[in-house]
Structure 1
């Protein structure tokens, strides 16, 4: 049996995909009422992190995500009409008012090299991400890039990316190296590949250099995206 594959998000870490699914189901999907907006900062952060992980994120985000909310899955489009009539799902409401259903389980289950590389790239620049956040707070008051409101403490802030987004940044880097499958990852004892680090030292340094040159990190309040 292969090793369990962890789901390591900036906001929360899970020992396995099943643990991640169970947590989102119990703490978010089944916690809020129908048509209720997800408001807890940690819940919001986890959902945005999962959306970043989703290969279809750009399509789902569209003009930008205003909020997540709970709605009957049967009210969506396409294949989901075959679900039970009382099945609940997590939906996205965009800044332009449009709405769409979204499968957080699919985001957790993302398979393949692209998902693994994204997780590894995120892990490699974690120190840089935290250094950016800490430096901003050491320099003085920090205001949310999205709302302009004061962020009370370092723990209330999260690093996000703006023009390019995280998806665009990683996609462009992978293209420079010839594609996702050209980026080498460490493997989990010869069994299931566990993302978390780049196996090639030159690629690792290239990614750090690329991040410093092209990334435009911003700080936002955990409850705002």
Structure 2
């Protein structure tokens, strides 16, 4: 059975082959040394890099402190040219990554479960904030301007998106603050059980700690589904949202 690919920005492909073709097309549209300039391409690569860090990356996350931009580069390995995507981070550091590995990677169970526990810790706050944004700023037709495109979008087709930093960056920061980069202590995450849909933190203090970290750092925006993703300059967002 073909395996589908779903990215954090809402993009979805029925097969890995279709996902690989999409990113191969992006790669082919740019010359060696060029910055990835199309906002949609940047958004998809940002989401793909989140998938890379979540599923297969070992050691420090490729996203690091946040994404500035992506480039297509030609480097040399043992005298032979190698072309690929590179991410340039907001602190000026950079690294390469394989879009094929990101698409083909299989989940690292503990990392993925920890990610879901963090998402569950703040999901209700995010849902309420999205509702507040529409209650305060939508027009008579219950439409609101997308902060990425300016186009009007309804509640169903809108996302409350992490503009800066990415949600995965916040998750990795929290692991680092807790001293859990190498391993997550046994008993931190809920064990598999009947009717358990998703992983949660066992200790309410861990839930409260992640919520506090998330709310102090996250800059959010309302975007049309599939049009979100990290941004380099949070001050450029027309309506940045902070959670109390």
Residue 11 of structure 1 contacts residue 45 of structure 1 at CA under 8 Å; is this kept in 2?
no
1:30 aligns with 2:28: yes
Q: 1:46 is paired with a residue of what secondary structure?
A: helix
Residue 115 of structure 2 contacts residue 171 of structure 2 at CA under 8 Å; is this kept in 1?
no
The number of residues matched between the two structures is 196
Moved over 6 A (4+): 204-207
1:179 aligns with 2:215: no
Two-structure CA RMSD over aligned residues (Å): 4.3
1:102 to 97, 103, 109: 97
Change beyond 3 A, Cα 1:5–1:93: same
**1:212 shift after superposition:** 3.2
Change beyond 3 A, Cα 1:171–1:64: closer
Residues 1-225 of structure 1 correspond to what in structure 2 (within 5 A)?
4=3, 6-26=5-25, 28-53=26-51, 54=53, 55=57, 58=60, 60-62=62-64, 64-72=66-74, 75=75, 81=77, 85=81, 87-108=82-103, 109-118=105-114, 120-121=116-117, 124=120, 126=123, 128-136=125-133, 138-140=135-137, 152=150, 158-160=161-163, 162=165, 165-169=170-174, 175=180, 179=184, 183-184=189-190, 197-198=198-199, 203=202, 209-216=208-215, 217-219=218-220, 222=228, 224-225=231-232
Q: 2:62 is paired with a residue of what secondary structure?
A: helix
**1:36 shift after superposition:** 2.2
Q: 5+ unaligned residues in a row in structure 1: which ranges?
A: 142-149, 188-195
Q: 2:110 is paired with a residue of what secondary structure?
A: helix
Query: Quick one: distance in 1 between partners of 2:132 and 2:102?
Result: 32
| CA deviation string 1:93-134 (max 9, x = no partner) | 233544432223333315321343255346645564354345
Q: Which structure shows the bigger proportion of residues in helix conformation?
A: 1
**1:91 shift after superposition:** 1.0
Q: Which structure shows the bigger proportion of residues in strand conformation?
A: 2
Residue 70 of structure 2 contacts residue 86 of structure 2 at CA under 8 Å; is this kept in 1?
yes
Residue 46 of structure 2 contacts residue 67 of structure 2 at CA under 8 Å; is this kept in 1?
no
